[in-house]
Amino acid sequence: MPYPKRLINEGEGVALDLRPHWWFFSKHILTGTPLLIALVLITRINDDDVKDVLVYAFGGAAVLWAIWLLVKFLEWSRTYFVVTDQRVIFRTGILTRHGVEIPLERINNINFHQGIWERVIGAGDLEVQSAGEQGTSQFSDVRHPDGVQQEIYRQMEGDAKRDAGRGADAIGKAVADAMEKAGGGRGASIPEQIEALGKLHKDGTITDAEFEKKKAELLDKM
């Protein structure tokens, strides 16, 4: 079942939508090994009365194990690790829920760890270090954590470029508005616009770099 769309922000794109690696569930299946051994031993008992008692005990234990296994399966199916173009999301739990959300701009570093067996099956642990109160978040049984690490870095790079673009647009609009007020709007000649731009630079409204860039753009139009 995919991550609910109602929990995704408007305009937010999902890059990865993962459930825990199947090894998460397999580890719990392996806990039934003692029950299998017990069943083999019970079949070797010759005393029918003792055997009947043990069979009933085994049946009860098997039912409890099956119920516990069902709970773990539901927990697996309700655990989400999602990477979007804005944040990393982790949610888990059946009746009670636990969630972690890390904005991409707050992530400082990402590490992963895989043992030999985990490398064979394509599972591992992911560690996301972020600024603020969250600190370091650990995620276990992540599918191909090295690939997830690279995808998060790609999304972080894209998010940084979008922020830079938005910042440049905002600065450009602010400069244009300020020039309009200073008398160097679109209706003014290029020398007049450069003069108005110089006033903005002198007043500290724009930086040296912004002044030189805008001045060069105006001179190119002459």
Residue type at position 88: V
Cβ–Cβ under 8 Å, residues 69 and 28: yes
Q: Give the pLDDT of residue 147.
A: 95
Q: Give the pLDDT of residue 169.
A: 61
Cβ–Cβ under 8 Å, residues 91 and 98: yes
What are the residues whose beta carbons fall under 8 Å from the beta carbon of 171, sequence distance 6 or more? Answer: 206, 210
Q: Give the pLDDT of residue 159.
A: 84
Report how far apart, in Å, the C-alpha atoms of 81 and of each of 76, 139, 182, 193 are: 11, 9, 52, 52
The interaxial angle of helices 48-77 and 33-43, nearest 10 deg, is 160
Task: Mark 74-83 as b/e (b = at least 16 C-beta within 10 Å).
Answer: ebbeebbbbb
Cβ–Cβ under 8 Å, residues 172 and 159: no
Predicted TM-score (pTM) of the model is: 0.66
- What is the number of residues in the chain? 222
Q: Give the pLDDT of residue 165.
A: 66
Q: Give the pLDDT of residue 41.
A: 80
Query: Which regions of the chain are under pLDDT 70?
Result: 133-134, 164-188, 222
